[in-house]
Amino acid sequence: MTPEAYLEGQILLIDKPLKWSSFQAVNKLKYALINKVGLPKKFKIGHAGTLDPLATGLLLICTGKFTKRISELQGQAKEYTGTFFIGATTPSYDLETEVDQTFPTEHINEALIHETVQQFLGEIDQKPPIFSAIKKDGVRLYEHARAGETVEIAFRKTTIHEFEITKIDLPEIDFRVVCSKGTYIRSLAYDFGQAMNSGSHLTALRRTKIGDYNVIYATDVTLFEDQL
């Protein structure tokens, strides 16, 4: 593809690896396009929706004039698959931090799990994790958390369009979720455990779709440069 094509605008489907930040993935593509395609150093490039370092999957990266479409793409429904670990919580609601509490699981069975799913379908109130990039008083929540500060986090409206349990092998539960912009799957994991009178945290997460874009058509970020 020519430099002009990238400047006119492209949406690149990238499969983000585990432990990469979304920023690192964008930078990898940016320098590959500068060095191999000959794009100017200050060309426009950005992603349409952050993925946590501990998540893998679909990242939409827009170039040139298509960076104007980022907010439109961010607003589309997203599909995720992943795993909840039942019976324990962590402060970050995932594996970024160590287990801080354990809970009973003897009462949990398949019927209770499927019954609990129904509580989370449709519009729900959700509290973002303290370990998130949302700003409170001009400071990101994860900075408050790492400083050991307690802050009040407001509930936000979000919509769960589909929520399916795909495998039960306690203490692990595999799931598939289709949700609106701004949904935290880590918070869903935490709230799901609470709703079953237990605890839960997220141990695996993969974004599989954003709107009509599917990760099966995405390129691994580490292979992108080789394909230019």
Q: Which residues are catalytic?
A: 52
Question: Distance (Å, rounded) from C-alpha 126 to C-alpha 82?
Answer: 19
Euclidean distance between CA atoms 175 and 223, whole angstroms: 29
Q: Count Cβ atoms within 10 A of the Cβ of residue 77 and give its class: 0-12 exposed, 13-18 middle, 19 or more buried.
A: middle
Give the strand pairing for 56-63 and 10-16.
antiparallel
Query: What is the three-class DSSP state of 212?
Result: coil
What does each C-alpha distance from 38 to 5, 14, 48 come to in angstroms?
A: 12, 20, 24
What is the amino acid identity at position 5?
A
Q: What is the CA radius of gyration of the chain?
A: 19
Instruction: Single out the residue of 12, 15, 13 nearest to residue 206, CA to CA.
Output: 15
